[in-house]
């Protein structure tokens, strides 16, 4: 029993010291990278805990580490998200919307044209959409090459006049900043809803990043899809006014979409490994009957894998129509 107590104490001190180090080094770190000098405070905390154990007791060591971690956590809460920073060029603008009845006017819709992932012609526009003209929604999954379980998820909405609009929940990077899943646990990035044309947000991923892209029609009534759309606009506007930090586990692209998806699902969307590992989020949508179920999931994935069609349609003004052509006859009808 004595040996077990020592092991538990040692594990607590090691894990507490590691958390304290990461919190101090990564919290609020920007393009300059981890603030290594703050790590000295974590070393002092760990040293104090070890000394308390050596010269006093395990209880004193645990108390010292716990008090230090609580103090560090309190400090992390003083780091606040911002709407004004030196943002990366592709994230320089934050979309917002005005809702009047069924009509929604969106400002700063992104419409970049890419030569490669770092070379583009930047453009934004404003446009008005009528939710009565919505024809459908598509759940988009982009698994990241070489990273098991990791993916980006988006939602695209179609309108009767042939326009398509994508909502993408993303990390809002500053100039020179790169995404880090670890940094995303420690208030390093703000959260932003990027709204854009499919020739920007979809084509960037399928044609230039060369990631697999799956685009599943959402099986829901027009009324539910309209609520889905308006719910995303409301959340986007709220972030425009009151920024939030991205969190790798609790406030990421997929967890936000899960909350919106509950507006079109008849069941509560569970928070499980398919949310934490969004490359499997289509399996969750399949289980909830939000996408086709007429064949096994693997066949559904093959049906809505768009890369070949996207490459053939590159640069075409009817890109959105062409990436949907082969699935038009098999997409599920909407249900009331």
SS3 annotation, 167-200: EEEEEECECCCCCCCCHHHCCCCEEEEEEECHHH
DSSP letter at 37 equals: G
The CA radius of gyration of the chain, in Å to the nearest whole number, is 23
Q: Are residues 282 and 319 in the same domain?
A: yes
289 and 206 in one domain? Answer: yes
Both 99 and 52 in a single domain? no
Same domain, 178 and 283: yes
pLDDT at 2: 53
Asked if the structure places residue 84 within a domain, the reply is no
Q: What is the pLDDT of residues 4-62, one digit of tens each?
A: 777 888 898 899 999 999 999 999 888 988 888 898 888 888 888 888 887 778 888 89
Task: Measure CA of the first residue to CA of the last residue in the chain; give whole Å.
Answer: 62
* 83 falls within a domain: no
Query: Which domain-ending residue is among 55, 76, 97?
Result: 76
Determine the structural domain holding residue 121 and report its residue range. Answer: 89-327
Whether 109 and 208 share a structural domain: yes
> Does the residue 160 lie in any domain?
yes
Question: Would you mind telling me the total number of residues written for the chain in this entry?
Answer: 336
Same-domain pairing of 235 and 292:
yes
Q: Are residues 69 and 171 in the same domain?
A: no
- Does pLDDT of 335 surpass 50? no
**If pLDDT is split at 50, 70 and 90, which confidence band does 216 have?**
very high
- Which DSSP state fits 332? P
Q: Domain count of the chain?
A: 2
302-313 per-position pLDDT tens digit: 999 999 999 999
pLDDT at 272: 81
Q: Hey, CA dihedral for 42, 43, 44, 47, is it positive or negative?
A: positive
Phi-psi region of 264 (alpha: psi -120 to 50; beta: other; left: phi over 0): alpha
How many angstroms separate the Cα of 155 from the Cα of each of 71, 228, 264? Answer: 40, 10, 13
* β-strand partners of 116: 119
């Amino acid at each position: 029993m004595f040996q077990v107590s020592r092991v538990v104490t040692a594990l607590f001190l090691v894990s507490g010291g590691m958390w304290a180090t990461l919190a101090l080094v990564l919290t609020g770190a920007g393009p300059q990278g981890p603030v290594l000098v703050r790590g000295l405070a974590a070393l002092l905390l760990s040293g104090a805990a070890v000394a308390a154990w050596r010269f006093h007791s395990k209880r004193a060591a645990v108390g010292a580490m716990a008090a230090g971690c609580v103090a560090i956590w309190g400090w992390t809460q003083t780091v606040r998200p911002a709407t004004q920073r030196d943002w990366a060029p592709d994230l320089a603008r934050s979309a917002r919307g005005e809702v009047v009845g069924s009509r929604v006017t969106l400002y700063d819709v992104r419409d970049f044209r890419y030569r490669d992932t770092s070379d583009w012609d930047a453009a934004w526009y404003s446009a008005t959409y009528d939710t009565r003209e919505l024809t459908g929604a598509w759940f988009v999954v982009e698994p990241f090459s070489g990273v098991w379980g990791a993916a980006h998820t988006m939602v695209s909405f179609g309108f009767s006049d042939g326009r398509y609009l994508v909502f993408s929940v993303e990390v809002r990077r500053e100039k020179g900043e790169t995404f880090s899943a670890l940094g995303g646990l420690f208030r390093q990035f703000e959260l932003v809803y990027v709204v854009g044309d499919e020739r920007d947000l979809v084509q960037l991923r399928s044609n230039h990043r060369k990631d697999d892209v799956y685009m599943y029609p959402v099986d829901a009534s027009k009324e539910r899809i309209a609520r889905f759309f308006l719910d995303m606009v409301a959340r986007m506007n709220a972030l425009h006014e009151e920024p939030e930090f991205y969190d790798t586990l609790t406030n990421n692209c997929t967890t936000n979409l899960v909350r919106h998806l509950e507006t079109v699902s008849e069941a509560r969307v569970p928070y499980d490994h398919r949310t934490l590992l969004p490359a499997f989020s289509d399996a969750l949508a399949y289980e909830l009957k939000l996408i086709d179920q007429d064949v096994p999931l693997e066949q559904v994935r093959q049906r809505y894998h768009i890369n070949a069609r996207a490459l053939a349609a590159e640069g075409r003004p009817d890109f959105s129509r062409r990436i949907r052509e082969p699935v038009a006859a098999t997409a599920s009808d909407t249900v009331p």
